[in-house]
Chains A and B, each alone.
Chain A
Amino acid sequence: MQALRELARDLLAKGEVAVVIGWEEGPRGVRPAFVTRPEDADRLVFDARCVQNLATYLNPRRPHVAAMGKPAVCVKGCDARAVAGLVRESQVKREDVVLIGVRCSGVGPEANGPAVARDIAPRCAACDATEPAHTDHVVGEPATLPAGHGYDERLAELESLPAEKRWAYWQETFARCTRCNACRQVCPMCFCEQCVQDKTRPQWVESSPHPRGNLAWHLTRAMHQAGRCSGCAECERACPAGIPLMLLNRKVARTVEQRFGYRASADPAVPCPIGAFRMDDRQEFIR
C-alpha cells in the first residue's frame, strides 16, 4: 500500500499525470478515488474490498473524467483486461493512460466486506491475473489465490436442467429486472454512443420492464459481451435486482474459449474473436 501511495505521489509531483484514479476509504466501505494533489496520495488504499473496476472511468462515455487530464489508473490484473479491451477497440490510446498494476490475491464480493477476504468473489476463483500484465508499474506483494467457488458449478447445475426448467428459471430471474441500466452504465466495455436498446426507430428491444423486452435485452447484452467481457462482474454487483448476469457472461465467455480458443487478454494486440474468424471454425450446428 505504501508503494502505491509513493508511486501515485511521485507521478503527480512530476506532472506525469493529472489524476490518479484509485480506491479510498469511504463511509460505506471502499470507493473510487480521484487524487489530483501529491499530498492527497495517502488517501489511496488497496485490499480485498477494492472490488471496483476503475477501467470504467476510461470509457469515452465519461468525458468529465477525460477532462481532468492524463490519468493514472490503478488496476488489478483482471481490470487490466478491460483497459486492453478499450485500447483494442480504439476507445482510448494506450499512451494516454498510465496503468498502475496492483498485485491482488482475490477480492471479496462487496466493497464493505472485510479487508482480508474470507470468501473471495466467484470471479476470482479461477483467476489467472494475480500478477498484472501489460501495465506500466506493478506494486504490492506477490499474491497467492485462496481457493474459492467459481461460476462453472452453477453453470453446470443450470445446464443439467431440462429446457423448460431453464426457461422458467430465466423468465423468473429476468422478471425482476427493472431496466434501470445499471449493468450497462457500470460496464467498462459498454461505450456505444447510442445503445441498441435506446433505439426507437425501429425499436429493437422493448424498453419497459416487460419479460419480453427483458429477455431480448439480457440476451443482447450478453451477445455484445462475447469475447469482450473482462469478467469484472461489476454488472452483477451493480444490479439492484440481484440478477446473476455473470452466469450469462461466463456462459458466453466459455463458448468463446471452447470454440475459438480465446480468453479475455490484457494484451491489446490480441484481436477480439468476434471481429476475427478462422476458415476452420467448428460449424456442426449448421446444416
Chain B
Amino acid sequence: MDTKGDSKAPFEPRLTAFVCNWCTYTGADLAGTSRLQMASNVRIIRLPCTGRIDPLFILKAFERGADGVIVSGCHPADCHYTSGNYHARRRFAIFNELSEFVGMDPGRLTFSWVSASEGAKWRDVVNEATEKARALGPFHAYPTAQDPAFEPEEEVAHAGA
C-alpha cells in the first residue's frame, strides 16, 4: 500500500474496524470464504463484544493515523452476552454526537450491525466506509494536531507477502 507521505501516489485511506467476535467477525469471515471482492483498506481488530469497545479505542486509532473507523457487532437481540450491544449502542450514541461536536467528521466513523450471515452487508459497509474516507482525504488533522514533526507510520512489509 502507498505511504501517506508520498504526495504523488494516489491516496489510499487506512481504516480500523473494531468488531465483535460472534457476529461481525464471523460475517467478515463469511465474506472472505465467499470470495466477495471488497476494499482491502480495513484492518480488523476482533473483540469479544461491542460492549468491550471503549470510545478510547476509536480515539487511539485516529491518533495512530487511521483515516476512518468502523465499529460493528451483533444486531439488537442477537448479542452473545445478551445485552452488550445495547450498552454499546448507548455509549456510541453519545460518542457519535460528542465527536461531531468537537469537529470530527462523522463520515470517518461508521457504526453497523452485521450478523454472521451478512457477508455481503460487511462488504458494503467496508466499501462505503473506505469510499467516504477516500473522499474526505487523510485525517492528519488529529495526529498532527499542532505537531508538525508528525510522520505517518510506515507500512510494515511482511517477508514473503
Contact = CB atoms under 8 A, between A and B. Distances in A.
A149 interface: no
A112 B96 CA distance: 39
A279 B76 contact: yes
A279 B94 contact: no
Given A219-B102, A223-B98, A287-B110, A281 B60 contact: no
A101 B91 CA distance: 33
Contacts, number: 116
B56 interface: yes
A141 B18 CA distance: 55
A169 B103 contact: yes
Q: Looking at chain B's contact residues, is the secondary structure mostly helix, strand, loop, or mixed?
A: helix
A245 B74 CA distance: 34
A93 B125 CA distance: 48
Contact of A212 (B110, B113, B125, B145): B145
Interface residues of B, number: 39
Contacts of B89: 277, 281, 283, 286
Interface of A: 158-159, 163-171, 175, 196, 204-205, 210-212, 215-216, 219-220, 222-223, 226, 248, 251-252, 255-256, 259-260, 273-275, 277-279, 281-283, 285-287
11 contacts: A163-B103, A163-B104, A219-B98, A223-B91, A248-B101, A251-B98, A252-B94, A274-B87, A274-B90, A277-B83, A285-B96
Interface of B: 55-56, 59-60, 63, 76-77, 83, 86-87, 89-105, 110-113, 125, 128, 141-143, 145-147
